[in-house]
Amino acid sequence: MRISSNQQFQQGIDALLRQQAKLAETQEQLATGNRILTPSDDPAASTQLIKLSALSAANQQFDRNIVFAQNDVDLSESKLKSAGDIIQRVRELVVQANNATNSDQSRSAIATEIENNLYSMRDLANSKDATGDYLFSGFNATTKPFVKEGSGYVYKGDQGERFLQIADGIQIQVRDTGTEIFQKIRNGDGRLRVAIPDSNQGSALVNLESTVTSLVGTYSIEFFEEENEPLHYRVLNEDGEAVVGATLYEPDQQVSFNDINVSVSGSPVAGDKIEIEPSEFQDVFTTLQLLVDKLKAPIASAPPNSLSNHLTQSLQEMDLVLDKFLSVRSSLGSRLQELDTAKGQNADEDLRLQRSVGALKDLDYAEAVSRLNMQMTGLQAAQQAYVKVQGLSLFNFL
Amino acid sequence: MADALQIGTSGLLAFQRGLTTTGHNISNASTEGYSRQSVTLGTREPGLIDGNYLGTGVAVKGIARSYSNFLAEDLRVGTSSLGQFEEAAEMAARLDNLMADQDRGLSSQIERFFSALQDVGNNPTSIPERQVLIGESGALAEQFHQLDGAFNALNSQVNDKLSLYVDEINQHAQSIAELNVAIGYARAVSTAGAEPNDLLDERDRVLLKLSKLVSVNVIEQDAGVANVLIGNGQPLVIGGVAETIGLNIGEFDPSIQRLTYQRSNGTTTNITNFLTGGALQGLVDFRDNMLNSSRQQLGLLASGMSEVVNAQHGLGVDLKGNLGGDVFVPFEAETIENIYNRGSAKSATQIADISLVQATDYQATYNGAAWDVKNLKSGEVTVGNGLMAIDGLEIEFSGEPVYGDSFLIRPNYRAADYFDVAIQAPADVAAASPLKFSGSLANSGTAEVESLVVNSRSDLPLDNPFTLTFDNSFGEEGLPGYVVTGGPGGFLPFDPAADFAGKTFQLEGFGDAEIRLSGKPVDGDVVNIERNTEGTGDNQNLHALTELRTKNSLLGKSTSLQDIFALSVSDVGIRTRQSQLSLETQEVLTGQAENAYKAKSAVNLDEEAANLLRYQQAYSAAAKVITVADEMFDILLSTLR
């Protein structure tokens, strides 16, 4: 085949240029450490990289959210711990107050201390977070949740619970409402409560323990005396039907019916009644306020043993408050645990993402360096060949 | 003797021509498009002497160039394809480079926007976080503008190049016409009908340059004239006359320029779609297939972003308790009338459902009875009149169209350019849900609302609260469930024994809310639903907004916002790669054509050196013949003396 001199020259030059272009690309790969310089180098991997870096950014945000959530939950937890301490102290005071040797004055002192604890409890319930929002007012973050209206405390917040997103599709509750923590606490023994009318003349001491599972109506234990008969009692339901018929009263009487146990001691007199009602939600402030009011009243003005009966029931109610706080705290604890787990998973996920990014994007240096060497050798050879071939000419011999 | 002298002289003259031609070849060894020439020698007419024909020497019969019409045509075709792929690959590489760093650009800015949303969610009452969100929204708009601006700059480059190439084509056409005239003249004046080799080379050279810009059809006529046709048969050069092509503003968009063919009689024809091959087509292909597609995809991302974010944001309430306004300025689809429309037809397009909108433009053309709306990407045609619903768009036609009238519909082409932040004040970020619920404290059961999700703005903000009261045995059939008082009213059947794990209800109106109830309510338990006033600590709507990040909300609910962009980048990557591969293949093919052409026509210096020696030796020999003839004459004279 005939080859023109121009062609020979051009082909040599083209070969050099091609080698140089390849060398330059390898050089840039080595300089940046990236295998992919533009999307066309590997379109599929480029798309993956964009998705991976988006995932990684989302992950970092989830990490931030988790820290926020941890702070929030921690804060609630510490507030509830303090609240529990307050109730413990009040419980001790109630035990102390439930002692016949106390004078009106010492009871009043106890009442004052309980009142102070009530204020502490109110302040706790009205706690703010780092940004100045109320912790326990639901979504009404800027509304003070518990304020005194009349004789009791009113909840001004709502029942909104704040969640934060800690992973794709996973939200975790970080705030509990004042309603949930401080209001939704049952009085009495949690199922039923005892109400002793002020009209009672006797000095019955009442202690209620029930194991009812479903809601029951109201009952009334009535004491009565027939002519020349000793003291009897009977139990009537809300329709006036006898649940327990006329039974002779003996001191330390156990009255049992429908899974309800009422132990009655002391000396009831005919005409006395003991009302048993379904328990209701009673916020912790009302519970404490009632205690304070009872303790402040001079004992002489009240029916005998009425204070003692109230304190007995209060002790049950203190336990219910503590139960409530503990249950919320254990929920908070499990959330903290969940957050820890999520954080760990996030870190793992991040590592996995980094690894994937590396696998897609990072240059295999060993391969690239050996390729560089090969290309340099190739270029050198092309240069030498070019010079040699171009030196060949018949004119050299003329 | 006289004969020998004449024969010697004829040899001297012939070999001198040979040496001259070889010299010409050597001198033009590097001249582009030069075809080597060679002297054709022949014997002179013999003389009849003594009954025998006696040779009378050598004569130059002609000087021919080594040239093959077929190889030249092959090279022109190859050069056209090469020009096309080179241009396309070069422009594609620019777009490719533009997208190279976008995983750090637009894509990561989208993530920052969603991160900022979550930061507000972490702290819904805090103003600084809301301010950051607005700032990140602005930065997002910046990113959209920047990328769209870069696309626009590429379009300008396309226009600049088109204009440059059109000028070059016109110049080349003019040169060819002039060369046609010169060649005709040169042939006419040569009595022996000799070819003007160097002029022919020159014309081939210009034809090759022309074919790099646009594919040409060369028809050689007698008398050495080459006629040049382009497109689907438009004559560019006929004999000594050159027509011109030009650039006109697009019929829809002035920035999308069109190639036109201008007849000397003043008519112009749009030949943009008829041109094949050459750099011109490479440019038009790049613009129509790659650049426009990237812009449409970016636009879909922008309009999708503003549409879905606005829609969800509107389902929340801001710090002042008002329903959320637009976060981004809503984008309206463009409908552009053809500047050459003759009828009075009007058209307007609304985006009805962003989840169905495609990243493409549409062209609506009146066929005399109805409108043919053609998807310019898939080629799919929908025929209709009045109001047409196509791919989530509502296209309305009115007025009196004339056959051939057309509109261009661009649902997203400019969306990235128009993308802007609408929300101004931090307090306007609608973080909260417009409705809230609460269980009554007097409830004896465990009735619970698990979730309350608002789906529309109907009846919102809520004027009056409404309640769900549980009834153990409602109506004649005594079904258990919730009686709705106020609001939508009605009865929601709920059996505590079966449904305690949760049952979802869809309200009619009132935000078209979806409410999920659970627990074991007892007779008389009440759930209140009311307007969320003062719900500054509520971040529910931000959760919903954050979920838009990964929600498949576009392209028939198959693709998320983030995916659209990745799709666009991979599209550019794949097309760039394809254009590079096409170019590499074409380089080989055209290289082969060029080699074949040059093997035939170009100068080999060694060959010329050999010729030089050959002619030199022959020249010496011919001179010797003269010397011998001279000596013979001397001998004759001395004999006579």
Residues A73 and A183 in one domain: yes
pLDDT at B367: 94
The parent domain of residue A141 ranges over 54-187+317-349
- Residue ending a domain, among A349, A367, A392, is A349
**A7 found inside a domain:** no
Mean local confidence (pLDDT), B505-510: 90
Backbone angles phi and psi of A164, in degrees to 5: -120, 150
- Nearest-CA distance from B455 to chain A in Å? 19
pLDDT 10s digits, B164-211: 999 999 999 999 999 999 999 998 898 777 889 999 999 999 999 999
pLDDT 10s digits, B275-330: 888 999 999 999 999 999 999 999 999 999 999 999 999 999 999 989 999 999 99
- In whole angstroms, what is the distance from residue B507 CA to residue B492 CA? 10
pTM, two decimal places: 0.88
Residues A179 and A207 in one domain: no
pLDDT at A215: 64
pLDDT at A197: 86
- Residue ending a domain, among A349, A364, A390, is A349
Residues A197 and A261 in one domain: yes
Pick from B100, B123, B570: CB nearest A47: B570
Residue-by-residue DSSP string for B127-176? HHHHHHHHHHHHHHHHHHHHHHHHHHHHHHHHHHHHHHHHHHHHHHHHHH
Pick from A54, A133, A165: CB nearest B537: A133
Q: Is B335 helix (H, G, I), strand (E, B) or coil?
A: strand
Q: Name the token pair of A252.
A: 């330390």
Residues A111 and A235 in one domain: no
Residues of B in contact with A70 (CB under 8 A): none
- The yes-or-no verdict on residue A1 having pLDDT over 80 is no
Here the ipTM equals 0.86
Pick from A43, A53, A138: CB nearest B107: A53
- Nearest-CA distance from A218 to chain B in Å? 14
Which chain A residue has the Cα nearest residue B577? A40
Residues of A in contact with B102 (CB under 8 A): 50
pLDDT at B221: 85
Q: Is A65 on the interface with B (CB under 8 A)?
A: yes
User: Where exactly are the structural domains of chain B?
Assistant: 2-66+606-640, 332-411, 435-531
- The yes-or-no verdict on residue B368 having pLDDT over 60 is yes
Q: Is A365 on the interface with B (CB under 8 A)?
A: no
Residues A100 and A164 in one domain: yes
- In whole angstroms, what is the distance from residue A191 CA to residue A313 CA? 12
pLDDT 10s digits, B553-581: 999 999 998 888 888 999 999 999 999 99
- The yes-or-no verdict on residue B50 having pLDDT over 80 is yes
Residues of B in contact with A140 (CB under 8 A): 534-537
Which chain B residue has the Cα nearest residue A9? B30
Mean local confidence (pLDDT), A204-218: 82
- In whole angstroms, what is the distance from residue B8 CA to residue B628 CA? 9
Query: CA nearest B348: which of B300, B394, B402?
Result: B394
- Asked if the Cβ–Cβ distance from A58 to B549 is below 8 Å, we say yes
Using pLDDT thresholds of 50, 70 and 90, give the confidence band for residue A3.
confident
- Asked if the Cβ–Cβ distance from B111 to A54 is below 8 Å, we say yes
pLDDT at B103: 62
- Nearest-CA distance from B410 to chain A in Å? 26
Pairwise pLDDT comparison (A227 vs B83), residue with the higher score: B83
Interface test with B, best of A29, A50, A70, A286 (most B CBs within 10 A): A50
* Residues ≥6 apart with Cβ < 8 Å to B407: B252, B335, B336, B337, B338, B345, B347, B363, B364
Pick from B537, B549, B598: CB nearest A4: B598
Task: Report the percent of chain B where pLDDT is more than 70.
Answer: 99
Placement of tokens 């760990």 in the chain: A344
- In whole angstroms, what is the distance from residue A209 CA to residue A141 CA? 40
Pick from B126, B534, B598: CB nearest A6: B598
- Asked if the Cβ–Cβ distance from B537 to A278 is below 8 Å, we say no
Helix axes B127-189, B278-285, angle to 10 degrees: 160
Residues A171 and A220 in one domain: no
Residues belonging to chain B: 641
Pairwise pLDDT comparison (B269 vs A330), residue with the higher score: A330
Please give the sequence-ordered ranges of beta strands (E in DSSP) within B401-478, or none if there are none: 406-410, 435-439, 448-453, 466-474
Residue-by-residue DSSP string for B289-304? IIIHHHHHHHHHHHHH
- Asked if the Cβ–Cβ distance from A171 to B543 is below 8 Å, we say yes
- The yes-or-no verdict on residue A204 having pLDDT over 80 is yes
- In whole angstroms, what is the distance from residue B375 CA to residue B410 CA? 10
Pairwise pLDDT comparison (A209 vs A336), residue with the higher score: A336
Consecutive H or E run containing B375: strand B371-375
- In whole angstroms, what is the distance from residue B139 CA to residue B249 CA? 34
- Asked if the Cβ–Cβ distance from A4 to B599 is below 8 Å, we say yes
- Measured over all CA atoms, what is the biggest interatomic distance in chain B, rounded to whole angstroms? 163
Placement of tokens 């002039």 in the chain: B178
- Residue ending a domain, among A279, A306, A332, is A279
Pick from A4, A38, A44: CB nearest B570: A44
- In whole angstroms, what is the distance from residue A90 CA to residue A284 CA? 12
Residues of A in contact with B27 (CB under 8 A): none
pLDDT at B102: 64
Q: Is A394 on the interface with B (CB under 8 A)?
A: yes
Residues A183 and A194 in one domain: no
Mean local confidence (pLDDT), A219-241: 88
- Asked if the Cβ–Cβ distance from A142 to B112 is below 8 Å, we say no
Mean local confidence (pLDDT), A108-113: 94
Q: Is A247 on the interface with B (CB under 8 A)?
A: no
| Distance, first Cα to last Cα, chain B | 18
- One-letter amino acid of A247: T
Please give the sequence-ordered ranges of beta strands (E in DSSP) within chain A, or none if there are none: 146-149, 152-155, 163-167, 170-173, 192-195, 203-210, 219-225, 231-237, 242-248, 253-257, 260-267, 273-278
* Residues ≥6 apart with Cβ < 8 Å to A65: A164, A165, A166, B118, B121, B122
* Residues ≥6 apart with Cβ < 8 Å to B319: B125, B426, B427, B428, B429, B431, B536
Residues A62 and A183 in one domain: yes
Residues A159 and A252 in one domain: no
- Asked if the Cβ–Cβ distance from B537 to A393 is below 8 Å, we say no
Residues A127 and A80 in one domain: yes
**A291 found inside a domain:** no
Pick from B438, B599, B609: CB nearest A398: B609
Number of domains in chain A: 2
**For chains A and B, what is the number of CB pairs under 8 angstroms?**
200
Q: Name the token pair of B348.
A: 């307007």
Mean local confidence (pLDDT), B91-111: 86
Q: Name the token pair of B429.
A: 């970020």
Consecutive H or E run containing B362: strand B362-366
Residues A273 and A173 in one domain: no
pLDDT 10s digits, B241-275: 999 999 988 889 988 888 898 877 778 888 888 88
pLDDT 10s digits, A30-77: 999 999 888 999 999 988 988 898 899 999 999 999 999 999 999 999
CATH assignment of the domain containing A173: 1.20.1330.10
pLDDT 10s digits, A144-192: 999 999 888 999 999 999 999 998 889 999 999 999 999 999 998 888 8
pLDDT at B2: 55
For chain B, the average pLDDT equals 92
